[in-house]
Amino acid sequence: QLQLIESGGGSVQAGGSLRLSCAASGSSISGRCMAWFRQVPGNEREGVATVNTWNGWTYYSDSVKGRFTISREDVKNMVYLQMNTLRSDDTAMYYCAAATCGRNNSPSLSRPMYGIWGQGTQVTVSS
């Protein structure tokens, strides 16, 4: 059974950068769609970025496009989220998630698609 553990969150000033890591264990991330979501208390969990590990296709929400980059290292069973030019509205709990997906699946940030979740790592951006 795949398990996910996030790390790398913290406090940063607006304009700064953070790199989140997601360590997978118990199974391989290969052949899955891996994603990052975020949630602010009282709000819905929002998809941020996703990658189809079959083909490397990525997809980003409009709010982070051009600032965030999702990547992975299949050999290390790791997924990353590089976050640059952070803004106060990026403040949230960030979650790593995994979904079963096919070779030709277009990347999707539909939350019901993802069945495996980590515990989250907090990111706080101060202005």
Instruction: Give Cα 17 to chain centroid, integer Å.
Output: 15
Confidence at residue 114, expressed as pLDDT on a 0 to 100 scale: 97
Hey, what amino acid is at 57?
Answer: W
Q: Dig out the tokens for 93 from the structure.
A: 């709990």
Contact 29, 53 (CB under 8 A): yes
What is the DSSP code string of 12-52?
Answer: EETT--EEEEEEEESS-STTEEEEEEEE-TTS--EEEEEEE
DSSP, collapsed to helix, strand or coil, labels residue 110 as: coil
- Report how far apart the first and last C-alpha atoms of the chain are (Å, whole number): 40
CA pair distance 83, 90, nearest whole angstrom: 9
**Averages of pLDDT over each 10 residues, the chain, 127 residues:** 97 98 97 97 97 95 98 97 98 97 90 97 97
State how beta strands 46-52 and 18-25 pair.
Answer: unpaired
Hey, what amino acid is at 11?
Answer: S
Confidence at residue 78, expressed as pLDDT on a 0 to 100 scale: 98
Confidence at residue 88, expressed as pLDDT on a 0 to 100 scale: 98
Confidence at residue 107, expressed as pLDDT on a 0 to 100 scale: 86
Confidence at residue 105, expressed as pLDDT on a 0 to 100 scale: 86
Confidence at residue 106, expressed as pLDDT on a 0 to 100 scale: 86
